[in-house]
Structure 1
Amino acid sequence: MAKLLQAPGKYLSSDWHIANKMQCASTESQKSSSERTTAESQRLVDDTEKTTQKTQRDVNKKIEQRLEEIKFWKQELDDKLKQIVNETEVLLTFKTRIEKALERCKEPLVIAQQCLLNREKRVGTDLVHDEVEQELLREAEVIKGVIVLLERTLGQTNEQIRLNRSAKYLLEMDLRDKFTALMIDDYCAGLTNNTPDIRYANNAMKMEGNSVSLQDWIDFSNTNIEKADKQRNSSLALRALIDNILSQTVNDVRKQYETVNAAFRNRVKEVKDAKQKLETLLAMVMDETASQEKNIATLEKAISDKEGPIQVAQTRLEARTHRPNVELCCDIVQYRLISEVQEITNNVKRLKDTLAQAKAELKGLSRQQLLLEEEIQVKENTLYIDEVLCMQMRESVSINNV
């Protein structure tokens, strides 16, 4: 208890001085350390501020550069989109031209086939496989070939339109994404430290799994542009081909159409010439028939005219048989009468033979007249088919460029 109440020991004067010095030294040291920390802190604050501002300026610059880059590619995509859209619209007009050309092929083909059917109604020797028929068959084949070619070209055109639209779709999707990215980066470019809606985003630094590299980003748009260019060039080449095909097919059909018409004109002229010759022959036969009828009448009259003389001669001979006794002699009169009867009989026989021949000739002329009239009708039928039915029907055909 006495120890507990014992006063603490006193320090020596030297201890006091040492303690004061140590306290001063410690304080000075702490003060210096604090001052260094304060100075270091200020430098750090200044450095971080400068770094932050520099980094932010750099980021702002990068965002501006990125905006320019996006705008550049967006403009490139816009240009290609306009080109492919315009090219597709032009190609659609070419498609319409092909469809019109196909439609215009129907009438000439139907008419060519109808002409062939009409000409099957020719009769007799006029039902011939002539030049007109050969050219009509060739015309039908030419038109059918043109139809096949145009249908194949139409299929190629439809496929190219599909490819153009596919390229257009890719450009539109890329442009849509570029527009969205442009809006986002433009929003980012407008953000400042004083913008009201800035906030912390803890997961913002996480890289998305579907992120791509800058080169992949460039390659993606470049690929879309190249695809659009490729399809546009293919479309241009196809349009040149279509122009050539339409021009060539029209020329082929028109050339064959004119060839058929020329064959028709030649054939009609040929048939008309033949008909005219037949009509001339018919007129000659009819004239000859009239002449032969007169000849027959003359022969019949001549035969009839011989009846009197022969009856006279025979009556005389018969009368002289009644002469009496020696008066019944073969005198000169008797011989001459007998000669006269024989002469008239022979002449009548010759006249009858000639009459029979004349009647046979008349029958032959009648048969020939019928044949000529029938052949003229055949020619008239042929002319009606070729000149009226076919040639007039072909006048409605119009073969023009589309």
Structure 2
Amino acid sequence: MSVPDRSPHQVVGPNLVDMEVMRNHSELFRAECMRLIMETCTACKRMQNDDNKQLDQRVRDIQFLEKELELKLEEIIVEIDVLIRLQSRVEIALEACKEPLRVTIVCLEERMKRLPSERRHDDVDRELLKEREVTEGAASILRRVTEQITEQIRLSRSIKYQLEQDMKAKSEAQCIDNSCALMTTGSMDNLLRPKNNQIVLPSLAVTPKQWENISDINIAKAEQQKADSLSLRALVDSVLEQTAADMQKQVQATATALQLNVQEIRSAKSQMEDQLVKILCEFASQQRIREDLQVAIVENQRVLSLAQARLTLRRQRPAKEQCHDPAQSQLLAEVQQLNAHINKLREAVTQSEDEQRALVRCQLELHENMAIKASSLYIDEVICAQHRETLIIHSF
């Protein structure tokens, strides 16, 4: 502002014009300050309202994701519990395989104790070997299933931990944003008062999309683990059902083979017993016929002695009387016939003795084979049956 020139002759006094200008300028400045105050106040209120809206929206977004995470966490927790119970079922089934396998091995070992003539690879042995193979195969499958369940539980617990950490972070962020939304100029000093020795780390530069993707990834992982768990559960249920059915079927097949074998042994032993009775009867009959032959030999020898005595006495006839008459011929023929009869009877006695010895051998052989059959019958009907009587395969 220019100052008017004054002449040295003018009277010195207050410059009213300048004062008026300055007063006007001050009034204008005051008006400008009031406007500025009103503008800044309005802007602050608008910005605070925008902040509150954004913070509220942010809290709602966090609550939405937190709810999604909570639902997935509950599903994963339930799935983990189901897997743990399923693992317990599989372990019980695996433990249940031990007794059938032990019984099968014991039966095989006991049947190996049969006498050599009975130690053949029969249907029972084949079914027992197949039973051992089925049981060992079932146990192997169940062990692999247990490992798969353990791995699935580990993966589910891992995603459970990630969901919990994500929810924890979301909860902390929600608390902070809620505090920010409730913060006023009056409460700001207390809220912003730093804690002792607290180190404030710089925030990571994460975009909203990246922030949302973190939870989406965790939710997707949880969905995948749940799907994998459901698939595994279906597989395990099928395996448990199939292994129990296979083992039950094979146990029944072995029991049927064992029962048929017992019936065959009983039948063979019964036939031997019947044959032994017949052999003993035949031996007694042979003994009687041998005694009868010996009696017949004695009778023929007496008749022979009589004929020989007559011939000897007739040799004492006078010389003129010793003719070969019919009586002499008859006596000579009688002696020859009696000798022939006695020889045949003696041959019959010898043959009868041979027959008796053969019958004795048959008797001994029958006794031996009956003892063998009795031993095999005891092993299959008593020992194996005792071990297998409690062998019942239940559905797992």
TM-score by length of 2: 0.93
Deviations 1:353-378 (A, max 9, x none): 11111111111111111111111111
Whether 1:304 and 2:298 are equivalent positions in the alignment is: yes
Opposite residue 387 of structure 1, the aligned amino acid is E
Question: Whose radius of gyration is greater, 1 or 2?
Answer: 1
Partners of 1:293 and 1:362 within 8 A in 2: yes
Partners of 2:69 and 2:167 within 8 A in 1: yes
In structure 2, C-alpha distance between the alignment counterparts of 1:127 and 1:270, rounded to whole Å: 15
Aligned residue in 2 for 1:398: 392
- Distance change >3 Å, CA 183–CA 270, structure 1 → 2: same
Opposite residue 341 of structure 1, the aligned amino acid is V
69-78 or 250-259, which deviates more: 69-78
Whether 1:111 and 2:94 are equivalent positions in the alignment is: no
Aligned residue in 1 for 2:94: 102
Aligned residue in 2 for 1:168: 160
Deviations 1:110-132 (A, max 9, x none): 11111111111222432211111
In structure 2, C-alpha distance between the alignment counterparts of 1:277 and 1:23, rounded to whole Å: 157
- Distance change >3 Å, CA 124–CA 369, structure 1 → 2: farther
Partners of 1:84 and 1:232 within 8 A in 2: yes
Opposite residue 328 of structure 2, the aligned amino acid is Q
- Distance change >3 Å, CA 10–CA 357, structure 1 → 2: closer
Aligned residue in 2 for 1:87: 79
Whether 1:328 and 2:345 are equivalent positions in the alignment is: no
In structure 2, C-alpha distance between the alignment counterparts of 1:209 and 1:73, rounded to whole Å: 21
Query: How far off is 1:183 after superposition?
Result: 1.6
In structure 1, C-alpha distance between the alignment counterparts of 2:359 and 2:163, rounded to whole Å: 91
Opposite residue 92 of structure 1, the aligned amino acid is I
In structure 2, C-alpha distance between the alignment counterparts of 1:45 and 1:207, rounded to whole Å: 36
In structure 2, C-alpha distance between the alignment counterparts of 1:349 and 1:301, rounded to whole Å: 14
In structure 1, C-alpha distance between the alignment counterparts of 2:186 and 2:156, rounded to whole Å: 48
Runs of 4+, deviation exceeding 4 Å: 198-201
Aligned residue in 2 for 1:253: 247
In structure 1, C-alpha distance between the alignment counterparts of 2:201 and 2:340, rounded to whole Å: 141
Aligned residue in 1 for 2:190: 197
Partners of 1:250 and 1:401 within 8 A in 2: yes
Partners of 1:124 and 1:378 within 8 A in 2: no
Partners of 1:303 and 1:351 within 8 A in 2: yes
Structure 1 segment 143-222 matched on structure 2, within 5 A? 143-195=135-187, 197=190, 208=202, 210-222=204-216
In structure 2, C-alpha distance between the alignment counterparts of 1:306 and 1:64, rounded to whole Å: 140
Whether 1:121 and 2:118 are equivalent positions in the alignment is: no
Partners of 2:108 and 2:125 within 8 A in 1: yes
Structure 1 segment 3-402 matched on structure 2, within 5 A? 11-12=8-9, 15=10, 23-195=15-187, 197=190, 208=202, 210-402=204-396
Opposite residue 160 of structure 2, the aligned amino acid is K
Opposite residue 303 of structure 1, the aligned amino acid is I
In structure 2, C-alpha distance between the alignment counterparts of 1:35 and 1:199, rounded to whole Å: 39
Query: How far off is 1:176 after superposition?
Result: 1.3
Partners of 2:66 and 2:170 within 8 A in 1: yes
Equivalent position SS for 2:185: coil
RMSD, aligned CA: 1.9
In structure 2, C-alpha distance between the alignment counterparts of 1:300 and 1:151, rounded to whole Å: 80
In structure 2, C-alpha distance between the alignment counterparts of 1:257 and 1:200, rounded to whole Å: 78
In structure 1, C-alpha distance between the alignment counterparts of 2:69 and 2:191, rounded to whole Å: 33
In structure 2, C-alpha distance between the alignment counterparts of 1:141 and 1:288, rounded to whole Å: 51
Equivalent position SS for 1:128: coil
136-145 or 27-36, which deviates more: 27-36
- Distance change >3 Å, CA 71–CA 334, structure 1 → 2: same
Query: How far off is 1:252 after superposition?
Result: 0.4
Equivalent position SS for 1:306: helix
In structure 2, C-alpha distance between the alignment counterparts of 1:193 and 1:235, rounded to whole Å: 52
Equivalent position SS for 2:97: helix
Opposite residue 42 of structure 1, the aligned amino acid is M
In structure 1, C-alpha distance between the alignment counterparts of 2:386 and 2:263, rounded to whole Å: 16
In structure 2, C-alpha distance between the alignment counterparts of 1:393 and 1:30, rounded to whole Å: 121
Aligned residue in 1 for 2:197: none
Query: How far off is 1:97 after superposition?
Result: 0.5
TM-score by length of 1: 0.92
Query: How far off is 1:211 after superposition?
Result: 3.4
Partners of 2:114 and 2:375 within 8 A in 1: yes
Query: How far off is 1:10 after superposition?
Result: 8.2
Query: How far off is 1:33 after superposition?
Result: 1.2
